[in-house]
Chains A and B, each alone.
Chain A
Amino acid sequence: MSSDIDPITLAVLAGRMEQIADEMDATLFRAAFNPIIAEAHDASHGLYHAVSGDTLVQGKSGLPIFVGVMSFAVKAVIDKAAGTGALSDGDIYIFNDAHMGGTHLSDMRLVRPYFHDGELFCYLASVGHWHDVGGAVPGNYNPSATDVFQEAFVLPPVKLARGGEMQQDIIDILLRNTRLPQSAMGDLNGQLGALDLGVRRLDELLGEYGADTVRAALDALQDRADALMRAELSGLPDGRWQATDFLDNDGITDTALPICVTLEIEGDRLVLDFEGTAPVTAGPVNIALPTAVATAYVAVKHIFPDLPANSGVMRPIEVRVPEGSLLAAQFPAPVGGYTETILRMIDVIFSAASLAAPERVVANAYGTINALSIAGKRGNGAPWVMFSFYGGGHGGSIESDGLNHGNAPISTATIPPMEILEAAYPVMFRQWALRPDSAGAGAHRGGLGAIYEIEVLEETAEAFLFGERGRFAPQGVSGGAPGAMNVFHYEQEDGWKAPPLASKMVGIKLRKGQAVRLETPGGGGYGDAANRAPDAVARDVALGYLSAEAATETYGPAWQEHTS
């Protein structure tokens, strides 16, 4: 534990450095052209250790999954620089290789070494989800990809700037490999602006406090995060707990894919071992090792929400991922559907942790991103693509029922308004509603999933869905019941059809007046349904969250005496 910094300076510096990262986030959100960054905040910024690449400070407003994954991106650059032997002030690396930096290829990472008095002090990094990075499918969500080359162009860490000099050659390559060069250039400028701002703010801070004091504060903050994590773990019982859940399939073969975790607590240490998880798949539900480790961080931070956002919290935690599993896929295995896999990892970690500390853990949320796109041509020949993710129910907790229609645990993105979608694309939502009888039963039930029924208003269109939870429902914890599964139907001349792979399908042909109908999962329940207050059941029936039949079947007849 560093002790060469006084506690007051430390508290002040903690706030100042967090603000630098926050300000970098805000700079990119404001400047980005593409709505995935500007509106959904699919981006992140921070300060990283000069030697290890560990996350020192991360902005509060970035996407949760990036908090853990960015240190791998910085490490990839450190390794690359060590190999080539040259790193100087004003260098900026850029890359999107998910097997080196985690997540998927849409996430463009910029890493800039920060020098103070001629010495490497730390790294600054910026990651943002670009609108299009080449590949077979616009927007890069290709459910039938069997390698990364079908998903996007792949850029390993290369120098975008050398000693402050932008390399126009690199920019030319980037812009020639995207369908939306203007958007890409706008986002790139925003990310460069965020890094510039980070450099200016660090210059001011180090000028004010001195490099030694700031370095001591960064070390102390890591140590304190470590101490906080250990204190939390020490408060939990020792033991081993196991949980298994499944992905429906990989989008190519209809075989269930187990995701397994053994959670072991011993004193102030935690091991998350994913032995038993399915091997690498042909289809794009694989993830690279950095993504797996970052996901463990997201799950842990949801269980202990007050922990700081630096890698000190991961010191007492060991993440074991079996070689050859779909959680440690090697280049060039496809990784485009990484969101589905990491949501399932979070689910099993929650389920296992609920056995150790039921009061700490919420039941499983809806567990699928449901990337649905509908595309076609207008009467005048102009192409259109409506692409969005859809929400579902959150899990119940010791505090309350789960939230109806929330966003995914890995994200904080909001859904576009229906009217914006209807104004931009030839569609009409017949229904945009809560899904009755979808909540997992429990003392505190899960939140309700949603129903979206979308009718096509042009002559023809095609629909594509990349979803999950069509075969395996979100689990309850502490005796709570599972929520309803994901259900997808599409309308044809002879009635409603369901995809053979449940929630994944490409090229669904639709005609004017036909619709698709997505019914998303509810959250799992918390605690035994028998312990739910009868008046709460009666209220759910009165509000139409729950049908009378389902209420009696699940909770018994006691609620009927509480109807007003």
Chain B
Amino acid sequence: MSRMIGVDVGGTFTDVFVLDEVTGTAEVAKVPTTRPDQSAGFLDGISKHTDDLSTVNVVVHGTTAGTNALLERKGARIGIITTHGLRDVLEMRRRDRPRTWGLRGDFVPVVPRDRRLEVPERTLADGTIRTPVDLDAVRAATRTLIDAGCEAVAVLFANAYANSENEARAVEAVREIWPNSHVSCSSEILPEIREFERFSTTALNAYLQPEVSGYIHRLGHALSEGGFGGEFMIVQSNGGVMGTDTACRLPVRTALSGPAAGVIAAGHIARMAGFENVITGDMGGTSFDVALIAEGQSQLAPQTAIDFGMVVRTPMIEITTIGAGGGSIAWVDKGGLLNIGPESAGSTPGPVAYGQGNTRPTVTDANIVLRRIDPDNPIGGKLARLDVDAAARAIDAHVGAKLGLSTTQAAEAILTVANSRMAGAIRLVSIERGYDPKRFAFMPFGGGGALHTGAMLKEVGIGRAVVPRYPGVTSAMGCVIADMRQDFVQTINSLTATLDTAMLCDVMQRHADDGRALLDAANSRFDARDVIFELDMAYVGQTHTVSVPLPVSVRDGTVVAPDIAEVEAAFDEAYKATYGRLLDTGTRRVMNLRTAVIGRRPKFDLTTLAPKGGHVDDAVTGKRQVHFGDAWHETTIYQRLALPVGAEIRGPAILVQPDTTVLIDPGLVGRVDACGNTIITPDAAQASEV
């Protein structure tokens, strides 16, 4: 019982990271993702390194099952029961539109109007019940939805955040009749003010429940069949893990499971390498995803829209995505301007060089034409070789001819514009939020990011890049590292002057108790347990709230309540930090309480992954001509995993490993650190030559 396994199922590959806690060794595997049922690939990946599942004590899974079901609209047939007069809230959204310009497009909600039924009931904003819920009407609506073939149902009542009594009574009546456990209500899932966001999150949760819980049960069953007797956990969008029971109850919290795990791993790797501030860049087939970790903390966003009108409000790691991936298409518009994306060839048909039917040049095609990617040994192992000539012809036809550039000039132009857009995304997450990117390290991961490291250093002025030892399986590694975390919210909606601190303390205590119970149930080992309380607060009249950390202690499991003066002081401090000044005559209001209960899981020592011995010269596999700037350079190729700790490689150089190509541009130097990462910096020794 000494092994931990992280499994990340992505769109193309399923990545597995196996850590042996006793020997400190790690193994990785990459197998094709199976669709529609991802569990086959999951089990296939685990079996690559693990015959006997009884030696495994933890399996943690980052999954896109929920994301895909949402994006492809393949969730369950569900119904909702809602307040009289409000059946259309889900469809009316917040009166937005899909795109600013053009006014085209419509919206199809996941629950069609004829399965959104109204019942007499009404609670007012202050929690007063104006109309008690009509339970006969609830039962009649329930039967109608059962007859309509619904697999799950959500009860969505107005102002249920302020008083959940009507919802609770309705849910009880529904559960007496409903044939399965997929019954939920908005005050259970998200007791927070804002009806559209609460209804949408609850409805999407119900929409995912049958699918995701079925998937998790299938996996759990297969794992036990194989002899597994340990803890099986799922990564949430907030970067923490949860037990499978919680995941089956709250599948909507998995919406960004995989990418979140990648950011968690990146933070850990960077910290071990000595960098508390890091900007991650995950380059995939269609997008470049950027996240920022400041002082070791990843940033959380309160909500996200999975697609137009499909809002999920639950804390998630903030990831900014731009449409510049390896498969993004380069094109010249009618005004003669070179553009990259947003259209993408993805991984199917993929770049022109893949020979699978795409004829328009992509970013990857430019990297191939310039030989930064080796056409004879493509990564991923799907194709035997890449068609360089086809890529060159496509670049000539669609870019070179239109701009009067040679093939290599056009390919460099494509990379310059793509790099500029990627650098723009890095500026966006850093400068626009008040962080100076020069104080950060850049960490590329995913298949393609490490080809663009030098450009990011140059464009943004970042001093160094950290390329993880296994950039292609970062998300799977993050599964093994992530803490266990549960988030809770409750709308309070009170002026600070009249805040009922006893009531607030009761809610805090309930959150802490519920969170602790979930940690206990996980049967996992924790180095530490933390409870973090925050209030969303604002001045009366403001709609945007400020997150106010509460300096509250939990002693022997009992929450010590803050007094009003402490709440006000905490708000003033947080407000001043955000806006620079206070409003002397403003009236302060507490909108929501947010609680995070975190079980810190043991972190493994990354130096166990580091190379043992070896010599630089033995890692050299050959040389080839690679194009940088305006010339071809003879470039040495290394087997990256064979490089010893302390090795220094001067650019131009290319480091290859099974799932990634790392480019060291001329004028840069890469050093292998104690954990096996490659730290890329400007080369002082070469500075005078370039």
Q: Which residues of A contact B (CB under 8 A)?
A: 7-8, 10-12, 14-16, 19, 22-23, 26-27, 31, 33, 35, 38-39, 60, 64, 182-183, 186, 221, 224-225, 227-228, 231-232, 301-302, 305-306, 308, 362, 365, 390-391, 394-395, 397, 399-407, 409, 412-420, 422-423, 428-434, 447, 450, 453, 457, 542-545
Contacts and interface: CB of A to CB of B under 8 A. Distances in A.
Contacts of A224: 335-337
Given A406-B95, A419-B194, A225 B88 contact: no
21 contacts: A11-B413, A11-B416, A14-B337, A19-B424, A23-B431, A31-B579, A39-B544, A221-B337, A225-B335, A227-B336, A302-B102, A394-B106, A402-B106, A403-B98, A405-B91, A406-B103, A414-B94, A418-B158, A423-B193, A430-B85, A543-B114
Contacts of A390: 95
Nearest to B333: A228
B125 interface: yes
Given A412-B96, A423-B193, A429-B86, 17 more contacts: A11-B420, A27-B432, A39-B543, A182-B583, A231-B334, A232-B334, A391-B92, A403-B103, A405-B93, A419-B158, A420-B543, A428-B124, A433-B85, A433-B92, A434-B91, A543-B113, A544-B113
Interface string B80-124: 000001111101111111111111111100001110000000101
Contacts of A409: 103
B102 A417 contact: no
Given A231-B334, A543-B114, A407 B195 contact: no
Given A419-B125, A433-B86, A11 B338 contact: yes
Interface centre among B93, B162, B583 (most CB of A within 10 A): B93
Interface in B512-527: none
B537 to A, nearest CB: 15
B382 interface: no
A224 B125 CA distance: 54
Contacts of A453: 85
Contacts of B125: 419, 422-423
Given A227-B335, A428-B130, A434-B91, A35 B583 contact: no
A401 B108 CA distance: 11
Given A35-B543, A417-B197, A543-B112, A7 B336 contact: yes
Contacts of B336: 7, 224, 227
A5 to B, nearest CB: 11
B285 to A, nearest CB: 22
A302 B102 CA distance: 4
Judged by DSSP, the binding face of B is loop
A409 B103 CA distance: 7
A183 B104 CA distance: 36
A405 B309 CA distance: 12
Given A26-B432, A224-B336, A228-B335, A432 B543 contact: no
B161 A419 contact: yes
A302 B421 CA distance: 25
B338 A8 contact: yes
A301 B102 CA distance: 7
B334 A397 contact: no
Contacts of A428: 122, 124, 130
Interface in B124-139: 124-125, 130
Contacts of B543: 35, 38-39, 416, 420
Interface in B456-480: none
B606 interface: no
Contacts of A447: 106
B359 interface: no
Interface residues of B, number: 67
Contacts of B105: 399-400, 403
A469 B405 CA distance: 55
Interface string B48-89: 000000000000000000000000000000000000011111
A397 B103 contact: yes
A305 B101 CA distance: 5
Interface in B192-215: 193-197
A374 to B, nearest CB: 15
Contacts of A31: 579
A422 B427 CA distance: 39
A432 B122 contact: no
Nearest to B89: A432
Contact of B104 (A8, A399, A429, A431): A399
A413 B97 CA distance: 9
Contacts of B162: 423
Interface centre among A390, A401, A406, A407 (most CB of B within 10 A): A406
Contacts of B89: 418, 432
A410 B403 CA distance: 36
A19 B428 contact: yes
A14 to B, nearest CB: 6
A68 B167 CA distance: 49
B438 to A, nearest CB: 12
B493 interface: yes
Given A10-B337, A429-B85, A305 B95 contact: no
B159 interface: yes
B97 A8 contact: no
B124 A401 contact: no
Contact of A16 (B94, B95, B420): B420
Contacts of B334: 227-228, 231-232
Contacts of B412: 8
10 closest A-B pairs by beta carbon, nearest first, are: A224-B335, A305-B102, A305-B101, A391-B95, A228-B335, A431-B85, A415-B95, A414-B94, A422-B125, A543-B113
A23 B426 CA distance: 13
A544 B114 contact: yes
A543 B113 CA distance: 5
A394 B420 contact: no
B220 to A, nearest CB: 38
Contacts of B159: 419, 422
A329 B365 CA distance: 57
B403 A7 contact: yes
B688 interface: no
A431 B86 CA distance: 6
B498 interface: no
B198 to A, nearest CB: 8
A35 B542 contact: yes
Contact of A404 (B92, B103, B413): B92
Interface string B137-161: 0000000000000000000001101
Given A12-B417, A543-B113, A301 B158 contact: no
B453 to A, nearest CB: 18
A413 to B, nearest CB: 8
Nearest to A25: B432
Contact of B417 (A11, A228, A231, A397): A11
B120 to A, nearest CB: 12
B85 A407 contact: no
Contacts of B23: none
A445 to B, nearest CB: 10
Given A8-B338, A31-B579, A33-B542, A406 B417 contact: no
